[in-house]
Amino acid sequence: MFLNTPNSHIILAIDTPDRTSTLHVLDQCYDVVDAIKFNYPLILKEGLSLLTEVKRKYNLPIIADFKVADVPVTNNRIANLVKDAGADAIMVHGFIGSDSILELKEVAGNEMGIIIVTELTSPGGLEFTRQHATQFAELCNFLDCYGIQAPGTRPDQIKALRGIVGSEKVIVSCGIGAQGGQLADAIDAGATFGIIGRAIYEDKHPRAAAIRFQKEVSKHVH
């Protein structure tokens, strides 16, 4: 288990602009969310040291949403850097194929989970990757990766992909809140966690926003 057992089912996408705003939001929300997800803009600005600092300070699992999509030699270097920084999971694109994902998995070993992106929630996710989403889910099983990302705005697709990966794999779902996806719908459809960014960190009261999501899902999950 690279992430903890779901409690609030919330992964906070901390796409805040800099270190100060990041710590400001996390100070308010860290005890309501199950994990923290970093993406490129904040890390490109502040460096991977911020990921390490946040992990030490809040003691929460960290997902590096770097959507890795390169050849094995480069993936190897990325995965080593991210693992050394303390990430518990790394997101990678499914379309890079088994050799590139296997390289990441070998570097990750027992310290970091590999989460395969199936399709983006944006319209372009339906353009090319949707046709192969079930294959990406099968690849997750075949390579014994930690889990997949499935679109939180498309509960039917979450359900279909849960049917492929089975009950043991983790499914993380983006698009909750700002893009209209409902956390309870995603969890009902089979997601393990919903990923929520702007709907929490852009709220005037991030903690109150996180608690609203927590309450919404606790009514639905039994």
**DSSP output for 35-48:** EEEEEHHHHHHH-T
Which segment (47-55, 106-114, 173-181, 213-221) binds ligand XMP by CB under 6 A?
173-181
Contacts for 110 with CB less than 8 Å, ≥ 6 apart: none
Amino acid sitting at position 67 = K
121: contact with ligand XMP by CB under 6 A: yes
CB of 96 within 8 A of CB of 129?
no
Task: Give me the catalytic one of 45, 55, 57, 67.
Answer: 67
Does residue 67 carry a catalytic annotation? yes
Quote the CA–CA distance of 184 and 17 in Å, as a whole number. Answer: 28
42: contact with ligand XMP by CB under 6 A: no
Among residues 28, 39, 134, 214, which is the contact residue for ligand XMP, using CB under 6 A?
A: 39
In 3D space, the residue among 71, 150, 144, 77 whose CA is nearest the CA of residue 110 turns out to be: 144
Which segment (24-32, 80-88, 103-111, 177-185) binds ligand XMP by CB under 6 A?
177-185
Among residues 164, 179, 203, 214, which is the contact residue for ligand XMP, using CB under 6 A?
A: 179
Nearer to ligand XMP, 158 or 174 (CB): 174
Contacts for 198 with CB less than 8 Å, ≥ 6 apart: 15, 177, 178
101: contact with ligand XMP by CB under 6 A: no
Among residues 57, 198, 205, 220, which is the contact residue for ligand XMP, using CB under 6 A?
A: 198
Quote the CA–CA distance of 27 and 60 in Å, as a whole number. Answer: 12
Which segment (42-50, 52-60, 97-105, 193-201) binds ligand XMP by CB under 6 A?
193-201
